[in-house]
Structure 1
Amino acid sequence: MTIHTPASRRLSRAALLGALLSTVAGAAMSAQSAVAADAEPVAVGAPSGVEELIVTARRRSETAQAVPLAITVVGGEKVDATGAFNVGRLQQLTPTLQFYSSNPRNTAVNIRGLGVPFGLTSDGFEQGVGFYIDDVYHARVATATFDFLDVAQIEVLRGPQGTLYGKNTTAGAVNITTNQPTFNFEGKAEVTVGNLNFKQAKAAVSGPITDTIAARIAVSSTTRRGTIYNVTSDQYVNGQDNLGLRGLILYKPSDNLAVTFAGDFSKQDAECCAQIFVRTGATQRPLNRQYVALAAAQNYTVASTNPFDRITDVDASLNAGNKIGGASARVVWNVGEGTVTSVTAWRFWDWKPENDRDFLGLSIVSKSQNPSQQDQYSQELRYNYSGERADLVVGAFAFKQRIDTQGTEEQGPASSRWNITPSNVLSNDPSVLNGLVAKNTQYLKNTSFALYGQLSWKVSDRFTIQPGVRLNYDKKDGFYQRLVFDGDGVPVLLGQTGARRAAQLAVFTPQLSAPSFSDWNFSYDLNASYKFTPDVLGYATYAKSFKTGGINQNGLPTDAAGNPILAAGQIKPEDVNHFEAGLKTQFWERRATLNVSAYRTDIKDYQATVTNGQLGVLRGYLANAGKVRSQGVEFDFSVRPSERFNAYANGAYTDAKYVRFTDAPCPPELSGGTTVGAGQTPGAPGAPGGLSPANCDISGARLPGVSKWSFSFGGEVNAPAQFLANEGEVYFGYDGSYRSRFSSNASPSIYTWVDGYSLSNFRAGFRTPDGLNVFAWVRNAFDEEYFELLAVGPSNTGLIAGQPGDPRTFGVTVKAAF
């Protein structure tokens, strides 16, 4: 259908677009310049007129239905329409993706329950889910907390991907492609306002500079009032204050050569991130050292015991200052029947946090600040060949990273009564622990090299065999030093005697360690696919993969004398065996698509989080669990019977558990008491003053952070209409998601199960073929009360803190394009 637009309407639209661009420019005026990256997906018409997305999952352009692996594709228009402007919201559209973040540093992106250990992070281990933007690997998951900027397409690949991607990934990859420079002048702008003072503005402009040079610049700004009210500071916290900028320059002297220079800069500057009181649960600590008694001893009452009042009284400074950026150069050179691609990149990450690690309005921990700075360099060189009977990808990847961290952890005047046994007279002397400070210095040097390749041998027009191999070398060198000083600035050292020193050393222990790791790994995979009909593809995959070993970079567990256990400095590599089979189908003249996959992933020496109840421990540390298994079934269904209606439903059943973990950390209900000795029997869970096991056998327990059942579903209906003399269509859309309950602790605890929940989002608006789109939206329309995660408070007092999910939000968006 062709719609003719009078000149007056085009002028009014241009005026509106100019106003939108001015708004965005004003919001971004203080942004720093930069430049960013890569290849543009294309949509092609299927026989019925239904669009099929072109993906680059196998480092060549092909339709998503032709790729013999489990992949979810979300187009840029759907990202914008559903409000999925970061990975946290993207998980509502992709049931197999899990995203958890207590702050940008402590962020996990997992697929099928695998990737990184759930909980506090350490610099010394690798991601299991690769995060790529325009072919550039992002080593820091903090990138995932930023707004998507000028996105063309997002591909979520499930299962090991090491034979095609620069960095080895055992659980999958999130491959983001942004819009690229064009030799036709074009632009777009978007402004959104909503409740909670939500304001978001985006714009992008692209066009030629000369006959061979084109440029594109995109900017995004998001602000929102916090969802938690802090009665101590009289301010809302956990808000959003994000700014992003990306610039690209394309040099294309011929059809066979394209060079793209790209750079980006993003920053977050919100007062964040508070986790608030949820509940208490009995531990095996003596009763007078559990939360209720400790709070009563200081006449403390938490601001609210209902977390969905969204009230806190934390008294330490909060900040989530986060800056990420970098530059890259991508060269694509067509040589005969093949293509040589070179991607050179540098990235930085600057993290300036401030936290309240006791989660309360008592000054127990008065300061918790661990800023860090990262530089990473990567070089990937890849050759692609496509022939009548064979396709080939071979590549080399080099990666170098350095992270420096400077930490300060300080105790406050309420610490003595909270952390010293009440029967000890020193518990009534605030000066014993007040001002006690640990100053931590650490660095990580990480180097990785790899050679990889994958061959697709087309045995016949229907049958293809695809083997792949990878050779990888990794080396990590770390350094950690903790210096401890009392409130008078006098060093606190191991071996010093006296009751005051003993109380201080029980909170902060000096430590020095320099763990290191290096290893070679060889991995491979084999995929076979068969095209039963032009619209039905079956495939099966076996992958022998690995996640490289790591080091405990945030301090080590200590022995009875307080010395670090150096043997815990190294973590062994994960050994991964992965099996998968799937069927990709289209029917009803390609109006409907149904893809189904089943998989099983077995991991030996799984890198698991071990938490320590001691207040002064900066982070949890890692240890190897014996064996973990994730297995399940997934489906993706979409239907478009006509241009007036489309719908989708995606689902996943995920059975992810510890098969063997006999020496795991114990949950809080089995912690805090005197460690059980030879011939003694541990006390009952939650029995005050009981004997606690040194560790627990959690074999058979579910992995944290993953629901057994998760679904996403939705649809959109539209009809021709006129609005303010503009011809177009009105539309109504719905997007929903559901996930069943999941454990929010490394070792499942009766206190940290997050109940299942369902979210519903609606939108309704009017749009024209030439790019004007005005719509109203509401997210979490039924104001579902749910938690994103729960956390066990320090010192085994039984405190459980949590992060409530967003309440109902609503607003209006205006978009225009030219």
Structure 2
Amino acid sequence: MTPARLAFLQAAFSGGPDTNLNDRVMNQSVASGLVDKNWGVSSTASLDLAGGSTLRLINSYRKWTNDQLDGDIVFLPVPLATRRSLFDSGSQNHELQFISPEREWLGGHFDMVAGLYYFEEKFALGEQLNMDTQYCNVLVPAGPGRTACAAYYASTGGVAATDQDVYQKVRSIAAYAQGNVYISDALTLTLGGRWTNDRKRGSYSQVSSPFTQTIRAPEVLTYPGLSESRFTYRVSLNYKPADDVMLFATHSTGYKSGGYNSGGGVPSLSTFDPQGNLISTRRVFDRETVKNYELGVKSSWLDRALTANLTLYRMDIAGFQDRAFDGVSFVVRNAGNLRQQGFELDLVLAPSDRFSLSGSLAYLDSKFTDFANASGVPGIGGRQDLTSKPNSFSPAWPGSVAVDWNGDIGSTGLTWAANANVAFVSDQYVGTVNDANPQSIADGYAVLGARLALNRRDDRWSLAVFARNLTNTHYRPLAVYQPLGAVLGLNNGAFPGSTANRIQANEPRTYGISGTIRF
């Protein structure tokens, strides 16, 4: 950022940015309003069939409308632009299930569940951006353009300077079945499959005034229709060599249908020829598929005083649907292939019903196996190859430890219970964009908590004092790029490719008293 640009922003925002990330003080223009309505009906009907089977029909309808004023969408100390968002959704789903009696078919060696599923939703999304008092002074360059912008604001009040209307209709049908084959008392094979067909249609319309096209580009199109079918399956084998030990292995596949991007884009996400015919669009993204493998053990030892569970897993995702922020809005696109693999360990030591020590530890090896077309960092743009880089919000080492202790208070009919716990996590990317920006790396941290409760022995009431984040640890759970960073001249300030980040503050040291009455 040039000294002249910094001086301009300091004057426009009445001082420099808030760079104290630990004071939990926010300085931005705020406005809000919300009208939210939800209603629905549901029904369940069951019919008992001969032989102990059950036929069940589940129906529901849901209606949701929402009209909200989001406040200033640029999140700066001066009022620039507010957003009114409108949502209207009507959905219905119907499911017919057939459930066999448990372990009664084939001489007690088989049971199953099967069904048909139907879902339909009509969804409308509207967005209006309203210019606020300082919009022209900050976001429009000095000169005739700013003068014209001021005149436009004076005559219209900046209301609905952009107007977006999005419509989408979704229909999904599926048929599924899953059965358990009891090979022996110790060995069970589970086989399941699901066929799904998804169909989507919709339209997109974005109108923008001459002075707001740097934040919402005009664009009108009918979404290309999407229709796709997919078969997914699950195979699982459970083996119990002893009453308190179960070994399991599972292979399953998953599927997430493709869809449409509804966020405003700059420039337009669609390209048209001179006759208005669609050439290409980034408003459509493809399906995401996953293959999952698990191998593990669930066990109890020392007369069930020790519980130990371990799971090894690998998840291979193809066509990973990644949300990338372009400085104006989020755009979903297929980011290539991602592998998440590791282990999860859970231990509980409870030598008596008065005391227990529990802990969990996980290791996650997150890696894009193919991501040659990743988003570039904000100040540079373009594309970069992030193959072998980790996904956001994928720390290598998360875990926790807790101690619980309780006892009676003489013959008063009262009991006490104490808990102390610590949760920890290693370094990770916490940015909302997968671009391996060093600014998005958050250091690992540990958070301590404690609770002391007084209870009536029959649990009719309890009174507790508690504390969370006892050491008042500061950490970064989320980092979001400052909207309109390029327009505001914030890119490449710290190093080439950098930009201004908005950091979400974590919960500070918190303590209090809670009470519960059960009746």
Q: Tell me the TM-score range normalised by the shorter chain.
A: 0.7 to 0.9
Give 3-state SS (helix, strand or coil) of 1:751's partner: helix
**Residue 304 of structure 2: SS of its match in structure 1?**
coil
**Of 438, 445, 448, which aligns to 2:169?**
445
Q: 2:501 aligns with which of 780, 783, 800?
A: 800
Q: In the superposition, relative to structure 1, how do residues 702 and 349 fare at CA in structure 2: closer, same or farther (>3 Å)?
A: farther
| In structure 1, C-alpha distance between the alignment counterparts of 2:510 and 2:243, rounded to whole Å | 44
Which structure 2 residues correspond to residues 8-407 of structure 1 after superposition, within 5 A? 287=2, 292-296=6-10, 298=12, 300-302=14-16, 304-319=18-33, 324=38, 326-335=40-49, 336-351=51-66, 352-364=68-80, 366-385=81-100, 386-387=102-103, 388-407=108-127
Where do 1:616-655 residues align within 5 Å?
617=328, 619-655=329-365
Contact 2:285 2:334 survives alignment (8 Å): yes
Pair 481,289 (structure 1): closer, same or farther in 2 beyond 3 Å: farther
> Given that residues 217 and 265 in structure 2 are in contact (C-alpha distance below 8 angstroms), is that contact kept between their aligned partners in structure 1?
no
Q: 1:744 aligns with which of 423, 426, 430?
A: 430
Q: Aligned-pair distance for 1:303?
A: 7.1
Counterpart-to-counterpart distance in 2, 1:323 and 1:646: 45
Residue 419 in structure 1 maps to residue 419 in structure 2? no
Contact 1:483 1:511 in 2 (8 A): yes
Q: Please report how far the alpha carbon of residue 792 of structure 1 lies from its aligned counterpart in structure 2 after TM superposition.
A: 0.2
Q: Flag the 1:660–1:530 CA change in 2: closer, same or farther, 3 A.
A: same
> What secondary structure does 1:465 align onto?
strand
1:660 aligns to 2:370 (yes or no): yes
Change (3 A) 1:442 1:740: same
| Cross-structure match for 2:493 | none
Once the 2 structures are TM-superposed, how far is the Cα of residue 360 of structure 1 from its aligned partner? Answer: 0.8
Post-superposition offset of 1:419: 3.4
In the TM superposition, residue 338 of structure 1 has moved relative to its aligned partner by 2.6
Alpha-carbon distance in structure 2 between the residues aligned to 1:811 and 1:477: 51
Tell me what 1:759 maps to: 447
How far the C-alpha of 1:322 sits from its partner, in A, is 5.1
- Give the alignment partner of residue 464 of structure 1, picking from 178, 188, 193: 188
Specify the alignment match of 1:185 in structure 2. Answer: none
**Alpha-carbon deviation of 1:626?**
1.9
Q: 1:795 to 1:444 in 2, by over 3 A?
A: same
Give the aligned residue type for 2:227: S
Pairing partner for 2:408 from 720, 726, 729: 720
Q: Which one of 529, 550, 556 corresponds to residue 238 of structure 2?
A: 529
Contact 2:271 2:280 in 1 (8 A): no
Alpha-carbon offset, residue 555 of structure 1: 4.4
Measure the CA separation in 1 of the matches of 2:152 and 2:385. 35
Query: Which residue pairs with 1:780 in the alignment?
Result: 469
Is residue 2:150 matched to residue 1:431? yes
Cα distance change on mapping 1:754 and 1:356 into 2, 3 Å: farther
* Correspondence 1:484 to 2:208: yes
1:505 corresponds in structure 2 to 213
Cα deviation, 1:674-732, whole Å, max 9, x if unaligned, reads xxxxxxxxxxxxxxxxxxxx22222222111222211132131011115xx84131111
CA distance in 2, matches of 1:311, 1:600: 41
- Encode CA deviations 1:475-496: one digit per residue, 9 max, x unaligned: 11222211223xxxxxx4xxxx
Alignment-mate amino acid for residue 585 of structure 1: S
- Contact 1:543 1:579 (8 Å CA) reproduced: yes
CA distance in 1, matches of 2:86, 2:444: 35
Give the SS at the match of 1:296: helix
CA distance in 2, matches of 1:787, 1:416: 33
What's the C-alpha RMSD, in Å, of the aligned pairs? 2.7
AA aligned opposite 1:799: A
- 1:417 Cα deviation after fit: 4.7
Aligned partner of 1:789 among 456, 464, 478: 478
> 1: distance between equivalents of 2:271 and 2:111?
58
Shift of residue 559, structure 1, vs aligned partner: 5.9
CA contact (8 A) 2:216 2:266 kept: no
Which one-letter code corresponds to 2:349 in the other structure?
V
Q: Tell me the TM-score normalized by structure 1.
A: 0.56
Counterpart of 2:319 in 1: which secondary structure?
strand
Aligned to 2:310: 596
Cα distance change, pair 299–457 in 1 and its aligned pair in 2 (3 A): closer
The alpha-carbon deviation at position 744 of structure 1 amounts to 2.4
The separation in 1 between residues aligned to 2:296 and 2:234, in whole angstroms, is 16
Which amino acid is 1:514 matched to?
T
The AA in structure 1 aligned to 2:109 is: R
Query: Is the alpha carbon distance of 1:665 and 1:511 closer, same or farther for their aligned partners in structure 2, counting shifts above 3 Å?
Result: same
1:473 is matched with: 197
C-alpha distance in 2 between matches for 1:457 and 1:464? 6
Deviation digits for residues 277-329 of structure 1 (CA, Å, limit 9, x no counterpart): xxxxxxxxx63696x35413526315743133222231141356655553322
| Residue number in structure 1 paired with 2:263 | 554
Equivalent residues, number: 486
Which of these residues, 166, 172, 179, is aligned with residue 455 of structure 1? 179
Contact between 2:324 and 2:333, CA under 8 Å: does it hold in 1?
A: yes
1:450 touches 1:471 (CA, 8 Å); kept in 2? yes
Distance apart, 1:660 and its partner CA: 1.3
| Higher percent of residues as helix | 1
Aligned residues of 2:136 and 2:149 also touching (Cα < 8 A): yes
Name the CA shift for 1:513/1:799 in 2 (closer, same or farther; >3 Å).
same
For residue 484 of structure 2, give the secondary structure of its aligned residue in structure 1.
helix
For residues 1-41 of structure 1, give each alpha carbon's deviation from its aligned partner in whole angstroms, at most 9, with x where no partner exists.
xxxxxxxxxxxxxxxxxxxxxxxxxxxxxxxxxxxxxxxxx
Question: d(CA) in 2 for partners of 1:478 and 1:640?
Answer: 56
- Is the aligned partner of 1:514 residue 2:222? yes
TM-fit CA distance, 1:470? 0.6
Residue 496 (structure 2) aligns with: none
Whole-angstrom distance in 2 between the partners of 1:769 and 1:380 = 44
5+ unaligned residues in a row in structure 1: which ranges? 1-285, 486-491, 493-502, 672-693
Shift of 1:529: 1.6
Q: 1:758 to 1:433 in 2, by over 3 A?
A: farther
Partner of 2:288: 574
Task: Verify the 8 A CA contact 2:216 2:264 in the aligned structure 1.
Answer: no
Distance 1:556 1:363, change over 3 A: closer
Output the CA distance in 1 between the equivalents of 2:291 and 2:416. Answer: 50
SS where residue 22 of structure 2 aligns? helix
User: CA shift at 1:413, angstroms?
Assistant: 4.1
CA contact 2:206–2:218 (8 Å) conserved in 1: yes
Contact in 1 for aligned 2:46/2:55 (Cα 8 Å): yes
Rounded Cα–Cα distance in structure 2 between residues aligned with 1:665 and 1:426: 32
The 1:455–1:562 alpha-carbon spacing in structure 2 relative to 1, beyond 3 Å, is closer
String of CA shifts for 1:62-108, please: whole Å, max 9, x gaps. Answer: xxxxxxxxxxxxxxxxxxxxxxxxxxxxxxxxxxxxxxxxxxxxxxx
Residues 522 and 787 of structure 1, relative CA distance in 2, 3 Å threshold: same
CA apart distance, 1:787: 2.6
1:438 Cα offset (Å): 0.5
Q: Distance in 1 between matches of 2:181 and 2:266?
A: 51
Change (3 A) 1:557 1:418: closer
Q: Is the 1:703–1:743 contact (alpha carbons within 8 Å) kept by the matching residues of 2?
A: yes
Q: Does the C-alpha gap of structure 1 residues 457 and 571 become closer, same or farther in structure 2, counting only changes over 3 Å?
A: same
Question: What is the CA distance between 1:742 and its match in structure 2?
Answer: 2.1
**Partner in structure 2 of residue 817 of structure 1:** 518
Deviation at 1:454, TM superposition (A): 1.0
Q: Percent identity?
A: 22
**Partners of 1:562 and 1:574 in 2: how far apart?**
25
How far 1:507 sits from its partner (Å)?
A: 3.6
